[in-house]
Amino acid sequence: MKNIKIKSFSLLLLLALGSCKKDFLQQSDPNSVAITSYFKTENDVLLAVNGCYSALRNTNTIGETSDLWTDQRSDDTGTNDSQSNSGEPFQFNNFSLVPGNSYLYAHWLAMYNVISDCNIILGNIDKATFTNANNKLIYKAETETIRALIYFHMVREFGAIPLVTVQPTTTDQITALTFRASEAAVYAQIVSDLKDAVNSPLPTTQATGTIGRLSLAAVNTLLGQVYLTMATTEDQTNRTANLNNALTYLTAAYNYKTFSSLSSIPYTDVFDVTKKSTCPELIWQIVYKQGDPIYSSVIAANSQASGETIDSQKPSSSVGDNVTHDLVNEYETGDPRMAFSIAYANAPSVKDWYVTKFRDVSSAAGVNGYGGNDWILMRYADVILMLAEVNNYLGNTATAIQYVDMIRARAGMPSYEVSSQTAPYSTNFPTLKLAILHERRVELAFEHHRWFDLLRTFSTTELVSYFQAKSQANFGSAVLANFSTKDRYYPIPFKEYNLDPVKMYQNPGY
């Protein structure tokens, strides 16, 4: 049982408990290096931090292909694929997720692997000798921010979760940490990490040669989003204070921008692989290497439907990244973001909409689809729309509308005031709150924001009503009637729950 617990929190890596008597069956690796003696130089720490960045690209963490726990959980994408291997993945989209789902468990383990790696760095960084004192502060800030980001995803997905901020060295320590800490405690740790990072000597923005690394713009963006989420989903006692904190940090992030107007940046530039290191709208992205069989991006090739050539030179035999008709119907007439982001595939095996937002048809990507698309974690359109959201909640309606209009102007769409006087816009989005949610949906489609946006916008009971009011015909095989209050959170993976059914109690409904 103790060995299972070590594995469950991904803490087996680099732990040497050595409590059993050695015999001839036990062998040691003469080339292995204990954690306590690994961190000696500045470069040792840098390599470890780079490993944390690299872990973000994993399918089971938050990389480009992690849509199973984000977009496919929402009303934007899903699957109508009847292949035999679609059973467990389909549970996310069909709101029929069970605690024994192996994809869910893989996600849990991968996320705690990243947390474990961060804890190891933070617990040993003081042992290394630095020639540049600022670098130590920067590496610490990067590690804290990555840990905060992973915990932010996990607390929104599962609710109360184990909160581990140290590197356990004994099974007793691991046992003591095997319990679900409150959401408030997890958020407090996230805020603490990010406040430390926001006061560090990180660069203000990404620069040539540092694309993919954290900046103060990114840390402020994340901290602002955390406070906004706390204000809308946590105890409402501190709602106004949290909204004001969100406003402070999101405004700071916005002020770090290096462009004068969002309209000066074409929407298509944001996703252009030839401009991924120069587009000023990008705040933080996971970098992929074009043409490389291992480190290239697969999002363009994977998105493409059979018979289509918009996304990639790699031929597809699947339905691609399927788009719900619910999203298709939400695009306003003439919105160029629709024409760029989705297309209808005419192949007899498809006859449906698929994602075209992520493209690389270059010769460098080739027929193998080794794309150069970076996965965008943060960009300024997101910051602008969160500022609209915060200002609306604070009663600053005019300011909120100004931010919405920045997004609509760049897209070439009429202003909010003009659109709100017309049907069907006024019918579909009768309040500014719903208009902001709409703008986020069409602007940030397929960028893994939608599910979390819904959680911020609606209470659990409101979210159930929101989903069940939609037309089943627009959701293909996914059964909307399955959606209930249980779906506010994912179930705790059965293997985790089984460690201690009392301290690792299951979420309601599972």
SS3 content of the chain, % helix, strand, coil (to 5): 50, 5, 45
User: Which amino acid is it at 107?
Assistant: H
Q: Which pLDDT belongs to residue 7?
A: 36
Q: Which residue has the higher pLDDT, 15 or 278?
A: 278
Separation between Cα atoms, residue 126 and residue 50, nearest integer Å: 18
Separation between Cα atoms, residue 183 and residue 77, nearest integer Å: 28
Q: What is the largest CA-CA distance in the chain?
A: 82
Q: Report whether 414 contacts 408 (CB < 8 A).
A: yes
Nearest Cα neighbor of 39 from 120, 102, 98, 116 is 120
* Torsion, Cα of 390, 392, 398, 400 (10° steps): 50
Rg (CA), the chain: 23
Question: Do you know the residue count of the chain?
Answer: 510
pLDDT of residue 10 exceeding 60, the answer is no
Per CATH, domain 215-273+380-457 is 1.25.40.900: yes
Q: What is the mean pLDDT of residues 247-270?
A: 98
Separation between Cα atoms, residue 255 and residue 317, nearest integer Å: 45
What is the CATH number assigned to the segment(s) 1-6+39-202+482-510? 1.25.40.390
Average pLDDT across the chain, whole number = 92
- 1-6+39-202+482-510 and 215-273+380-457 share one CATH topology? yes
Q: Coil, strand or helix: which one is 433? A: helix
User: Mind listing the pLDDT tens digit for each residue in 436-445?
Assistant: 999 999 999 9
Least reliable range by pLDDT among 132-136, 281-285, 321-325, 474-478: 474-478
Kindly give the pairing relationship between strand 342-345 and strand 375-379.
unpaired
Q: What is the mean pLDDT of residues 156-167?
A: 97
Q: Which pLDDT belongs to residue 80?
A: 60
Q: Which pLDDT belongs to residue 37?
A: 82
Please tell me whether the peptide bond between 424 and the residue prior to it is cis, using omega within 30 degrees of 0. yes
Look up the pTM and report it. Answer: 0.93
Domain positions in the chain are: 1-6+39-202+482-510, 215-273+380-457, 299-373
- Residue 70, token pair as written in the block: 């984000």
Phi, psi of 360 (to 5 degrees): -155, 95
User: Mind listing the pLDDT tens digit for each residue in 382-414?
Assistant: 999 999 999 999 999 999 999 999 999 999 999
CA distances to 15, 154, 305, 495 from 19, in Å: 12, 32, 54, 24
User: Which amino acid is it at 388?
Assistant: A
Phi, psi of 313 (to 5 degrees): -75, -15
Nearest Cα neighbor of 66 from 35, 104, 34, 121 is 104
94-128: buried (b, 16+ CB within 10 Å) or exposed (e) per residue? bbebebebebbbbbbbbbbbbbbbbbbbbbbbeeb
